[in-house]
């Protein structure tokens, strides 16, 4: 394991490629998933599947001082370095059909597994050189996608949820978790700490109590990069130790003085450092 603190590779150290993007629809057994495929110019490139977080969407949180979201910016930076990406809206999120109240961890895992199959068969990218990157709840999903499929040549976890009861208990409150397990077919309205109003059904809360991301990760033996912030109060930094203890194989961690959103509310600097480290990790493993 190599732990890296604070300073990382600059993106300026890499040559830049021209790129293009298109909106795509992935047909899955459970319904269509909408995504954005971003590709560099030239021959089909290795590709990264980007999995967004709880209540997020494929472009993800706006980055202060830019006209981009965390994932749309990441996708552009990846493409500039010769790596394609597909960022998706899970069903019920963003532009994908469905209702958010139906969201479950297992449903999102199914979306991502079907998307991996789509990427493998897509001639626009090299689906035999493939990585998965998940942020927060998307990282939780990514552990199962990697562990159950064993397809990714590399896995990247950004501030990934390791203990759902701890993270969502802190976010939603223990009383909400308890009530959620007794909803039956009803949907519970919830106001999140930042003011957003959502609804969730019992299936989501059942996943919070039963889904075990480190156990899912234990089935994946490929290269792993974990990025996490010392100031993250949404997913505590102890998640890093849980994942490293569960994973047997090549692994690196990048720990920086950042919050759960990579200091995006103050600008892109920390995010760009993390993306630079991510690219440096991915490039030799996707050759």
Q: Which helix (H) or strand (E) holds 107?
A: helix 105-121
Asked if 139 and 51 count as a contact pair (C-beta separation under 8 A), the reply is yes
The predicted structure's pLDDT at residue 150: 86
Residues in the chain: 287
pLDDT of residue 16: 64
Helical axes 70-80 vs 269-285, angle rounded to 10°: 50
What percent of the chain shows pLDDT beyond 70?
94
pLDDT value, residue 1: 41
The C-alpha angle 195, 140, 157, rounded to 5 degrees, equals: 100
**Antiparallel, parallel or unpaired: β 31-40 and 84-89:** antiparallel
pLDDT at 2: 41
Tokens of 91: 């069903």
pLDDT digits (tens, 9 = 90+) for 169-219: 999 999 999 999 999 999 999 999 999 999 999 999 999 999 999 999 999
Q: What is the pLDDT of residues 224-283, one digit of tens each?
A: 999 999 999 999 999 999 999 999 999 999 999 999 999 999 999 999 999 999 999 999
Quick check: helix, strand or coil at residue 243?
helix
* 164 pLDDT higher than 60: yes
Q: What is the model's pLDDT at position 149?
A: 97
Q: Which fold has domain 2-164+212-285?
A: Rossmann fold (3.40.50)
Domain boundaries, the chain: 2-164+212-285
Can you list the alpha helix ranges (DSSP code H) found in 122-259? 137-149, 164-172, 174-180, 202-210, 213-217, 238-246
pLDDT band at 15 (very low <50, low <70, confident <90, very high): low
Per-residue three-class SS string for 174-192: HHHHHHHCCCCCCEEEEEC
For 127-150, the pLDDT digits (tens) are 999 999 999 999 999 999 999 998
From the CA atom positions of the chain, what is the Rg in Å?
Answer: 18
Q: For residues 26-54, b (16+ Cβ closer than 10 Å) or e, as one string?
A: bebeebebbbbbbbbeeebbbbbbbbbbb
Q: What integer pLDDT is reported at residue 235 of this predicted model? A: 98
**From start to end of 235-280, where are the E strands?**
251-256
Report the distance separating Cα 257 and Cα 85, nearest Å. 27
Residue 287 in contact with residue 129, Cβ under 8 Å? yes
């Amino acid at each position: 394991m190599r732990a890296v603190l604070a300073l990382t590779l600059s993106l300026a150290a890499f040559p830049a490629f021209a790129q293009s993007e298109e909106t795509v629809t992935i047909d899955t057994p459970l319904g269509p998933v909408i995504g954005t495929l971003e590709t560099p110019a030239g021959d089909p490139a290795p590709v990264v599947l980007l999995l967004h977080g709880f209540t997020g969407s494929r472009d993800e949180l706006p980055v202060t001082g830019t006209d981009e979201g965390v994932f749309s910016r990441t996708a552009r930076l990846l493409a500039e370095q010769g790596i394609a990406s597909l960022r998706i809206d899970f069903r019920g999120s963003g532009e994908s059909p469905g209702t958010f109240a139906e969201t479950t961890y297992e449903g999102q895992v199914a979306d991502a597994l079907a998307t991996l199959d789509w990427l493998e068969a897509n001639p626009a990218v090299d689906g035999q050189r493939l990585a998965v990157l998940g942020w927060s709840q998307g990282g939780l999903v990514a552990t199962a996608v990697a562990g159950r499929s064993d397809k990714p040549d590399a896995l990247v976890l950004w501030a990934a949820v390791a203990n759902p009861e701890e993270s969502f208990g802190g976010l939603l409150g223990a009383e909400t978790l308890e009530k959620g397990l007794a909803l039956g077919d009803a949907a519970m309205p919830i106001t999140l700490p930042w003011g957003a109003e959502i609804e969730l059904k019992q299936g989501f809360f059942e996943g919070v109590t039963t889904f075990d991301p480190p156990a899912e990760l234990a089935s994946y033996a490929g290269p792993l990069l974990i990025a996490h912030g010392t100031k993250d109060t949404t997913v505590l930094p102890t998640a890093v130790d849980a994942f490293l203890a569960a994973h047997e194989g090549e692994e690196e961690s990048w720990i920086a003085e950042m919050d759960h959103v990579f200091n995006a509310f103050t600008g892109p600097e920390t995010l760009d450092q993390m993306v630079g480290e991510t690219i440096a990790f991915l490039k030799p493993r996707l050759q």
